Amino acid sequence: MTNLTIIFVCTGNTCRSPMAAVLMGIELDKRGVRDIIIENAGLSAYGEPASPNAISVIAELDEKSAEALESHISQNLTAEQIMNADILAVMSPAHAAEVIRRGADPKKVYILSAKKESGITDPFGGNIDTYRETRNRLTEAVNSLADEIFN
């Protein structure tokens, strides 16, 4: 499977979706999967940098991925991204409803979840342990998505 486009979507595009994107990159590297386009965006982003705690908890796993987050600037999900995405991986049922409202094919919308929860809660404003918990839930959810796509 080549030229697949996965877009991770959250609210502000400073925590969950950028972390999910780099975590998917790490997972695909482990699997030797190439030619996958991984993007991330928010539904209400304002050109902000990635959260320092998001960068820190990713650095604990992979310094190269953390460096990518250091240059991240949040951006809003575009109509073009919605149209071109093969998978829109969102963090909550509310995000799913919004991307569908914006024109996404419901069959392309995937709600990330871990431990049978419906979605991944927003760590924004939380302490480093909150971000670690979010990173761990995102890792589990991203690995499950990778399993669904590539197995």
Q: Quick one: pLDDT at residue 3?
A: 86
The residue written with tokens 């302490």 in the block is 127
Provide mean pLDDT across the span 74-85.
98
Structurally, how many domains does the chain consist of? Answer: 1
Q: What is the CATH number of the domain that holds 45?
A: 3.40.50.2300
What is the average pLDDT score of the chain? 95
Provide mean pLDDT across the span 15-43.
96
Provide mean pLDDT across the span 41-63.
97
Q: Quick one: pLDDT at residue 151?
A: 82
Q: Quick one: pLDDT at residue 2?
A: 56
Provide mean pLDDT across the span 96-125.
93
Q: How does DSSP assign 95-107, residue by residue?
A: HHHHHHHTT--GG
Catalytic residue among 31, 62, 122, 132: 122
Provide mean pLDDT across the span 37-59.
98
User: 3-state class of 68 per DSSP?
Assistant: helix
pLDDT for 55 beyond 70:
yes
**Tokens for 107?**
């069959």
The question of whether 16 is a catalytic residue gets the answer yes
Report field, pTM of the whole predicted structure over 0.85: yes
Catalytic residue among 15, 16, 135, 137: 16
Range of the domain at 16: 4-150
**Tokens for 100?**
């569908």
